[in-house]
Amino acid sequence: MALQPPGLHVGRSWSGHEIEDHCPCPKAPCGLVRQETTVEECDEHYFLNARAMRQSHTPAACL
């Protein structure tokens, strides 16, 4: 069951990536994190935490 296409870049802020700047996840070129590479240590992005992502885009739409 895929709710979203793979490889999305996601962010917890409404704009910019200040939260992402201070988290341990690997970053995409735009400064957001790749949804599939979030790390367990990250309280903001790890998928099992199921926090709301306020912005996202596909790699094709990046930058």
Query: Interface with Zn ion by CB under 5 A: which residues?
Result: 9, 23, 25, 28, 30, 42, 44-45, 62
CB of 61 to Zn ion, least distance (A): 7
Contact 34, 40 (CB under 8 A): no
CB of 44 to Zn ion, least distance (A): 5
CB of 62 to Zn ion, least distance (A): 3
DSSP 35-60: GGG--TT-TTT-GGG-PPPSEEE-GG
Q: Which is nearer to Zn ion, 35 or 44 (CB)?
A: 44
| End-to-end Cα separation, the chain, in angstroms | 28
